[in-house]
Structure 1
């Protein structure tokens, strides 16, 4: 957290500017974005109280954002998406654990690029192992951020790591991956570790069908056309056995297709409820309290586009700030929406690194210094007028 109090001696509740960005993917973490923006503002207004609150929407970077905001970070070795060992992080505060599926089971945890083989066999087991670790450290509630997964296993690996047994017709455990689910015959939940779970995800896809986990997302994970067919069959078999033996019929539930079907396993077997990722994360960051005394909020992400308007982190920050009557500026690497469009959705104005440097690759390579330049420009041209509104 950044405190730039000047000589006031006031705490963070009296900060005039809240900087609450998401990461700039492929370039800077959310905390780094916030630090560069704060540095740029302080060049012009060194006395300005600034509070940094890095945010995330449940996907990549969620754990980093929570640790930067004061949660305790823990690391542990778990099973990666193709059986490789990876060191994954989680965040904890009190009895609440924040777990990011991408940390253990994400595409970035593959040893190499995704292939048809990894698409067929990738597992979510490491995510279940993170959950076990959290419980062993005293967690009684888990927030599970879904996004960036390498697997299309319906959450079977996660359940297995939590003690479930997924068996074939001979009573043998199934091997990892979504394709193996085609041979599923019985699900044994006698030893399943149950912990209250809330899923942080903005994906509303069902498990199956043309909008389902396999058909929409598996090609992004290396699956070819035949792999998609087999993965779809595996997920359908998983849903069928769950319905037959356990009376669980939730494959059509919005969000069941999130993270290769991990959403289905969390909802159907762990009783998870799903919430929009950014709203859930902001609540755990006590963001409404942090807005008290603020006069301006600055948020942003790598690219402001139409997805931003549908539940991404900057939109959630803007809604929270608007509810408190505080103006919001958006900062991005690229801005693919007009300023007029963004104003209709509650943003006072929007700035992009490409306003300074037209070459997108140079913006990625030099994001930190460019963010500081952009913050200097804002401080010189807009800051006084925006702060005066809530004086």
Structure 2
């Protein structure tokens, strides 16, 4: 029996690699002769870097960059096991975890650190990139990232614009010193939103509040990104404003910057990850795949990791088991997965699983393997 273990993280409790290892250990405790392949996953957001490095036996590269408020931090990016694909997760440099709630300020926060990571990877020979763009603390339309890679932005007095608050004053983009190596690269952007750059469904309106924007700040941010899009369009590049279904509004407009200035394609986050870990090749040899997540509900059916795995497994007729800490909306899910199991049931409470998630995950898999 060949079982693939391919979970997402149990958010707030266990990362995907730990979930996969715990499940594999439980399977082998009951069935030591089974072949178990661990392929932890993520959906393009936080945790994507770790999942891809772990699943492909890649490694990390450390770097010192600026956080969203321009303070130096130590962080990392990765190289996949193939030795040629570099993975950068923007949350590692420009993400919300770097800021306290009180520090969140999308008028000042920038993606400069993300640009520094790209530049460092280029210096190390990178030419093929996967960029995970979930979890950003920024709403700068990629201003910081572009600046870190050599682009300049000026107002009428030839003062350089460095923060998104001042984009309303932008009159000129200077790409003279934009890193020319970028043109020889490929960028696959792992993105699971299709919001436009601006407008009522755009970056500022939809994602601004979680980054610290008030209603009045949202209006300023949206007006500034609209002006930014105007100036980008004047250079002959994409008119990002209402680009339909392309994800230009992802990560505070960073998706739009990739579309306008990079040889980039935006793809479903989970599909990017599944392709990178070559899950189709693994499924062709498998009998069962066991996936999991912290909470399964109707949202699981809308592009989350477990659903992406299920779709791939169905192509190969592989039996699919879902294990989650909590399962809601069972009626909506039961027509999709062959088997479903929740850690929280019977005498096991959510409080108990939060206190010792590995214990209850291990015990649940033992139960699954012995019944």
TM-score by length of 1: 0.89
Instruction: After TM superposition, give the deviation of residue 356 of structure 1 in Å.
Output: 5.4
> Is the 1:356–1:370 contact (alpha carbons within 8 Å) kept by the matching residues of 2?
no
Distance (whole Å) between structure 1 residues aligned to residue 358 and residue 145 of structure 2: 37
> Is the 2:143–2:162 contact (alpha carbons within 8 Å) kept by the matching residues of 1?
no
Q: Does 1:184 align with 2:165?
A: no
Instruction: After TM superposition, give the deviation of residue 343 of structure 1 in Å.
Output: 3.4
> Is the 1:342–1:349 contact (alpha carbons within 8 Å) kept by the matching residues of 2?
no
SS of residue in 1 equivalent to 2:26: helix
Q: 1:213 matched to which residue of 2?
A: 203
Q: Which structure 1 segments of 5+ residues have no match?
A: 1-14, 382-391
Q: Deviations over 1:138-166 (max 9, x none)?
A: 11111111111000101111111111111
Alpha-carbon spacing, 1:309–1:189, altered in 2? closer, same or farther (3 Å)? same
Distance (whole Å) between structure 1 residues aligned to residue 107 and residue 311 of structure 2: 40
SS of residue in 2 equivalent to 1:330: strand
SS of residue in 2 equivalent to 1:240: helix
Instruction: After TM superposition, give the deviation of residue 26 of structure 1 in Å.
Output: 1.1
SS of residue in 2 equivalent to 1:307: helix
- 2:332 pairs with one of 325, 341, 351: 341
Q: 1:105 matched to which residue of 2?
A: 94
SS of residue in 2 equivalent to 1:77: strand
> Is the 1:24–1:33 contact (alpha carbons within 8 Å) kept by the matching residues of 2?
yes
Instruction: After TM superposition, give the deviation of residue 115 of structure 1 in Å.
Output: 4.4
Q: Does 1:271 align with 2:263?
A: yes
Q: 1:295 matched to which residue of 2?
A: 287
> Is the 1:357–1:363 contact (alpha carbons within 8 Å) kept by the matching residues of 2?
no
- Equivalent residues, number: 362
Q: Deviations over 1:98-134 (max 9, x none)?
A: 1111111110112x22546x22211111111111111
- 2:160 pairs with one of 165, 170, 173: 173
Instruction: After TM superposition, give the deviation of residue 350 of structure 1 in Å.
Output: 1.5
SS of residue in 1 equivalent to 2:295: strand
Instruction: After TM superposition, give the deviation of residue 357 of structure 1 in Å.
Output: 5.6
Q: 1:284 matched to which residue of 2?
A: 276
TM-score by length of 2: 0.94
SS of residue in 2 equivalent to 1:121: coil
- 2:193 pairs with one of 203, 206, 209: 203
Q: 2:3 matched to which residue of 1?
A: 17
Q: 1:329 matched to which residue of 2?
A: 321
Instruction: After TM superposition, give the deviation of residue 301 of structure 1 in Å.
Output: 1.3
Distance (whole Å) between structure 2 residues aligned to residue 60 and residue 247 of structure 1: 30
Instruction: After TM superposition, give the deviation of residue 50 of structure 1 in Å.
Output: 1.1
Distance (whole Å) between structure 1 residues aligned to residue 34 and residue 297 of structure 2: 31
> Is the 1:115–1:221 contact (alpha carbons within 8 Å) kept by the matching residues of 2?
no
Distance (whole Å) between structure 2 residues aligned to residue 370 and residue 309 of structure 1: 25
Q: Does 1:39 align with 2:25?
A: yes
Q: Does 1:52 align with 2:38?
A: yes
SS of residue in 2 equivalent to 1:299: strand
Q: Deviations over 1:37-93 (max 9, x none)?
A: 112222222222211111111110011111212122112111101112222221113
Distance (whole Å) between structure 2 residues aligned to residue 57 and residue 243 of structure 1: 31
Instruction: After TM superposition, give the deviation of residue 332 of structure 1 in Å.
Output: 1.3
Instruction: After TM superposition, give the deviation of residue 377 of structure 1 in Å.
Output: 1.1
| Matching of residues 1-391 of structure 1 within 5 Å | 16-69=2-55, 70-93=57-80, 94-110=83-99, 112-115=100-103, 118-176=105-163, 178-193=164-179, 194=182, 195-253=185-243, 254=245, 255-338=247-330, 340-345=331-336, 347-355=337-345, 358-381=348-371
Instruction: After TM superposition, give the deviation of residue 16 of structure 1 in Å.
Output: 0.8
> Is the 1:58–1:200 contact (alpha carbons within 8 Å) kept by the matching residues of 2?
yes
Distance (whole Å) between structure 1 residues aligned to residue 248 and residue 170 of structure 2: 19
> Is the 1:97–1:143 contact (alpha carbons within 8 Å) kept by the matching residues of 2?
yes
Distance (whole Å) between structure 1 residues aligned to residue 300 and residue 90 of structure 2: 21
Q: Which structure 2 segments of 5+ residues have no match?
A: none
> Is the 1:332–1:353 contact (alpha carbons within 8 Å) kept by the matching residues of 2?
yes
Question: What is the aligned-residue RMSD (CA, Å)?
Answer: 1.5
